[in-house]
Amino acid sequence: MQFGFVKTATATPQIRVADCDYNCGQIAAAVRQADAQGVELLVLPELCITGYTCGDLFYQQPLLQGAKDALQTLLRQTADTKTVFVVGLPLQHDGGLYNCAAVIQGGRVLGVVPKTHLPNYSEFYEQRHFSPAAAGLSEITLGEEAVPFGTTLLFQSEEQPDFCFAVEICEDLWVPAPPSVRHAQAGALLIANLSASNETIGKPQYRRELVTGQSARLLCGYLYADAGDGESTTDMVFSGHSLIAENGRLLAQTVPFENALCVTEIDVQMLARERMRLNTYTAGGCSEYKTVLFSSPAVSELVLTRPISAYPFVPADDRLRQQRCDMILTMQAAGLRKRLAHTRCRQAVLGVSGGLDSSLALIVCVKAMDQLGRDRKDILAVTMPCFGTTSRTKDNARQLCEALGVSFRQVDITASVKQHFADIGQDPQQLDVTYENAQARERTQVLMDLANQTGGMVIGTGDLSELALGWATYNGDHMSMYGVNTSVPKTLVRYLVKFYADSSSDAHLRQTLLDILDTPVSPELLPANGQEITQKTEDLVGPYKLHDFFLYYVLRFGFSPEKIYVLAKQAFLGSFDDETILKWLGVFFKRFFAQQFKRSCMPDGPKIGSVCLSPRSDFRMPSDASVALWLKELDTLLDKA
């Protein structure tokens, strides 16, 4: 395990019903295949040493003895492997026959877990053959070794305590109170489920929802290994539909009827932090559990097979992304609608620059007014050209307002800013921070005063990414009376504007928005080179796609700089080299810590996702906190690079 990632797998070997020797060979081959790929935990199907569909053959002593003999053979055949694996077989114990899962590593059985809930309805008749697990722990002798037997077993790595798993079997998951609930409360971050779930129409989707839902409810990784080829088709068909989920997210699954090794990594470090963060997660109070330790060898190099998206705020699936965009716009508009109704404002006043953020804010204002049944003319959109404004952005601002049917006003602030320079003794040829921020503050003053004139309120346009980096002028564009974009990162802003453009039947509106999308992100505070934008934000603070990636993993999961760097290298492979990622990661942490004072007094705004910087709800940080620990780790990475 490295950086909290445990390489896990499920396998569905092709078996023969009641042919334990053959099945043992197939299982051993699957274990060796997984071990060769560095899998640390492998889960195999229910009763796969014998086959689930043996029926009354489970009463036959040759089958039961054959299963025990095959288990000993399997131990010998896998003695030189490091993978911990869980395999299903029937075992006699204390006068009963149990449907069991044996946990094995390096030729040793670490423990045996019997099935608790035995289905006895429709096509299932397990109570005919098996006894349900009894309360408490005992020991069972396998070969010459006595091993723990019971449902209250945790299996934990000696070297990596977060690598801790427990076992339940098939129907155990489908009941109202699955054993995995107690397992998770006892400390298991991974749940292994050995299953023989036959296939029926509609069941794959139900199975996916069940597994992903349980992983979300328990804040765990869930490995579900399903029986497949080789099981009897007398009355049922088995597809080998195996799934691996992590906290509500399906990481990997097999294609039904294609027996395959399903491999991915589960981030147990992240799961442990989530349980710590969510103080309603009930843990502990499970003193009856016994912890069985195993050795987890160090991984020399982390190679991830799970997908790492370069855009964690943006769904990759087109349909889901469109649904998400529609929902976000609705949420933003609902927040603004409530604020407008509560304050009885006669107008919503906002600055429009011809850029992405102000375009999104204007769209939200339009939706809010439409929902209130009010005239769009109650929106006053103001463009305020100055030294760096180009005709492209100015024209786009005007055309957008015309297409949306809002009130539009142009206030040229050039003379006002020059007068201000004269008042404070600022050399207008000195293009410093005063030169830039004076323009931003003048624009905010204009908007605030227009709001006073019209009985309105100023709508903020700044986004989540700018708040994280402090890329806003304090008491300039940093300030408003309600910030509708406050929880929307820059990478998502682009998709929201594109979604609105694609949804519009107005060709002129659509074309204007598409040109805005194509315009470089810029505050336009420095003089333009003719009509060419010379001040490009991403040249100064770095690519927003990188910063949003950093922001997501810092705020959502609290990952270390090194772990974020490792994930970024995979997510942006071919787009950014290692040095570039490290450079901007350093910039992110420096700016994030240094600019907290701006976030400590940020205006109200609606939360729309799991990452939010509001000091009143989601994120509280001292404005004078030190970044030394984070930079120290980054310096170590730079030395290695």
Burial 206-232 (b: 16+ CB within 10 A, else e): ebbebbbebbeebbbbbbbbbbbbbbe
Q: Which residue has 């079997």 as its token pair?
A: 169
Q: How far, in Å, CA of 545 to CA of 595, rounded?
A: 20
Is 170 a known active-site residue? yes
DSSP track, 274-336 = HHHH-TT------TT-EEEEE--PPPSS----S---S-TTS-SSHHHHHHHHHHHHHHHHHHH
Q: How far, in Å, CA of 218 to CA of 11, rounded?
A: 23
Q: How far, in Å, CA of 376 to CA of 133, rounded?
A: 67
CB 548 within 8 A of CB 491: yes
Sheet arrangement for strand 153-157? 249-253, 243-246, 221-225, 190-194, 164-169, 153-157, 290-294
**Distance set, CA 626 to CA 459, 620, 630 (Å):** 33, 14, 9
Burial 289-324 (b: 16+ CB within 10 A, else e): beeeebebeebeebebebebebbbbbbeeeeebeeb
| Percentages (nearest 5) of helix, strand, coil residues in the chain | 40, 20, 40
| HSE-up (13 A, CA, CB side) for residue 571 | 19
Is 115 a known active-site residue? yes
- Among 41, 62, 34, 42, smallest CA distance to 50 is for 62
Q: Which of 20, 24, 164, 170 is catalytic?
A: 170
Q: Which of 115, 367, 545, 563 is catalytic?
A: 115
Backbone dihedral angles phi then psi of residue 625, each to the nearest 5 degrees: -70, 145
DSSP track, 375-398 = -GGGEEEEE---TT--HHHHHHHH
Q: What angle do CA 391, 392, 395 make, to 5 degrees?
A: 75
Beta carbons within 10 angstroms of residue 284's beta carbon = 8
Q: Which of 7, 24, 40, 46 is catalytic?
A: 46
Is 46 a known active-site residue? yes
How far, in whole angstroms, is CA 219 from its chain's centroid?
12
Amino acid at residue number 612: C
Angle formed by the axes of helices 578-594 and 544-557, to 10°? 60
Which residues are identified as catalytic?
46, 115, 170
